[in-house]
Each structure stands twice: as structure tokens, then as C-alpha cells.
Amino acid sequence: MDKRAKAAMPGFIKPQLATLKMKAPSEGWIHEIKYDGYRAQVHVDKGTARIFTRNGHDWTKRFSAIAGSFKPRSQTIFDGEVVVIHEGRTNFSELQADLAKGRQDRMLFYAFDILFHNGEDLRSKPQIKRKEILKELIDMLEPLVLYSEHLEGDGHELFEAAARLNYEGIVSKRTDAPYRSDRNEAWLKIKTIQTGKFPVVGFIKDPTGVAALYLGKKEGKELVYIGKVGTGWSRTVSSEIRKKLDTVVSPKAKLTRAIKKPKATWVEPTFYADIEYRDITSEGLLRASSFKGLSKGR
């Protein structure tokens, strides 16, 4: 008979965070898809659930449909991500839009860790053991709550699959590591990056160069606005960009559909910017874009 004293259920636990790396590790790790959503911690207390953000804010009302799916009469703390799946993958912009509208019918919770269960603090247990306990519990829950599957061994194969499918990346976790409430190297995140070449349709001046570039995208015979980029160049490169764009200044925008940009200096779409970006939002704009180079024509 286990005579160990049961621990009291703790309040909000500061989450463990992943360290950014360029390459996925191999032996001794598990690897999961990196979800593009809101980090959330679910506290289930005998059939009632509360949901906290990564900073400890109570967002139970905003995620009430998910909270209602946690019906077990246990005391359990889950760690995971609230997501909206759009066009086959998690999409942060769609989640933000649904939150703004108060819409919850597309929201799901991917559980990837368990921190406490029925009087036992599980944070000291190895990562792989916590996943085993988590899977047993998640299999008994409602459809809005999903178990985050993982692969063991070399993470490069999963990373390449994530890149092909335009996922945000993967998270690699040491199988033998406990849960620690800080950013550390027991959890690693390896991000996929998308690239593209976009015609420059305008820019914002700064005293010696450009503060930002406005970008377009060819859609058949149309040239539509796809957002702006304001990072990725030095002061010297900024000046070089400005000199080139000053040679193709236009009195008006060459976009098929006009947009209001009071600070814009419009140009002929002669130069193309090489851009790295994370995603394209539901509004059709580049997300987390960074400038990598400028060339004339494609």
C-alpha cells in the first residue's frame, strides 16, 4: 500500500519554454510538431476546468468550450496549446480572428505535457514517462482535447516533413528530463522558414535610406498588396536600396487594388525583394518577414 502523502494541487505553474536551435537533435529525444497557437495550462479540479495563458491570466471564458471538455473528477494540470486548424494546419492568425469575434467552434486543445495528477506532482518524472501518463488520460477525454503525438530518435525527418507541409517547425524534448519552469535546453524549438521573391511597390523613407518596403504579389494579371518588411538590412544596405528605388519612383501605386499608405513613396515594380517569412495571414499578408536581398527583375 502506498503511504506517501498526497500533495495539494498547486496554482498556476510558470511554463517550461524551448530554446531556439538551428538543427534537430537525435538520440535521447522525442520530437513533436510545433503548434501555431496560444500556450495554455488547464487546471482540472473534480470536473471543473480553468485555463490559464502562459503568463498566468485566466482565459477560461475565452476558451469555455475547451474547458467544458475536461469532465474527469480528478485533480490534474495539463500543459498544451489552444489552436485553430485552417487549411490542414494550425494557424495563429485564424485563432486571433476567432478570439476577436468570440467564436470558439474551431478551437482545439493539443495537450503535450502533464504536471500534476491526483495528489502527485509529476514535474520530477522523466519527459517520456509524463507523456505515457498523459496519453492514458487524454484517450478518455472529449474530441476538443487531443494528445500531441511524438516521434523518437532523429528529429530531422520530422523537421523535413514539417517544412514540406508549411508547419511552423518542431519541438524536441529530452526523454529523461524533468519539467522546469524556465527557458532551457531540455526543450528545443527548430523553426521552418519560408522564402519568396516579391516585387517592391513602394517604400517609407528614413533620413539615409528606407524604413520599410511595401511588397506586392502577382496573381494572374493583377498585382496585389502582400504586406511590408522593415527588418533585415544594415544602414549601408538601406542606403543602397534607397538609391535603387529612387530611380523608379512612380506618382501613384501600381497595385491593382488601391491601398491607403500616407507615408508611402510608390515605385514601379521593377525591383524584387528576397524575403524570409513565417506564414501568410488570413488577411493575405506576410507574417514575421525579414529582408534578405534586392534584385532587378525576377
pLDDT above 90 for 227: yes
pLDDT tens digits for range 69-99: 998 789 999 999 999 998 888 888 789 889 9
Q: For position 143, what pLDDT does the model report? A: 83
- Cell, residue 217: 504579389
Total domains present in the chain:
2
Q: What is the CATH number of the domain that holds 259?
A: 2.40.50.140
Q: Which residue's entry shows cell 505553474?
A: 13
Residue 31 lies in a domain: yes
Q: For position 100, what pLDDT does the model report? A: 85
Q: For position 4, what pLDDT does the model report? A: 61
pLDDT above 50 for 188: yes
Q: For position 298, what pLDDT does the model report? A: 64
The three-class DSSP label of residue 54 is coil
Q: For position 189, what pLDDT does the model report? A: 94
Residue 11 lies in a domain: no
| Structural domain ending residue among the three candidates 146, 166, 191 | 191
Nearest 5°: phi and psi at 228? -130, 165
Please list the active-site residues: 34
Q: Mean of the per-residue pLDDT values for the chain?
A: 92
pLDDT tens digits for range 237-285: 999 999 999 999 999 999 999 899 999 999 999 999 999 887 788 788 9
Tell me what the mean pLDDT of segment 156-172 comes to: 89
Q: For position 259, what pLDDT does the model report? A: 93
Domain coverage including residue 290: 194-296
Structure confidence at residue 192 as a pLDDT band (50, 70, 90): confident
pTM of the model: 0.73
pLDDT above 70 for 1: no
The CA-based dihedral angle spanning residues 42, 46, 48, 52, taken in that order and rounded to the nearest 10 degrees: -20
Give percent of the chain above pLDDT 70.
Answer: 98
Q: For position 3, what pLDDT does the model report? A: 52
The Cα 174–Cα 235 span in angstroms is 41
Q: What is the CATH number of the domain that holds 26?
A: 3.30.470.30
32 and 123, same domain (yes or no):
yes
Residue 6 lies in a domain: no
Q: Which residue has the higher pLDDT, 71 or 57?
A: 57
| Pairing outcome for strands 107-117 and 89-90 | unpaired
The Cα 192–Cα 291 span in angstroms is 16
Reduce the secondary structure of 151-188 to three states and give it as a string: EECCCHHHHHHHHHCCCCEEEEEECCCCCCCCEEEEEE
Residue 154 lies in a domain: yes
Q: Which residue has the higher pLDDT, 170 or 1?
A: 170
The Cα 227–Cα 184 span in angstroms is 34
Which contiguous run of DSSP H or E holds residue 129?
helix 127-138
Tell me what the mean pLDDT of segment 194-203 comes to: 93
213 and 162, same domain (yes or no):
no
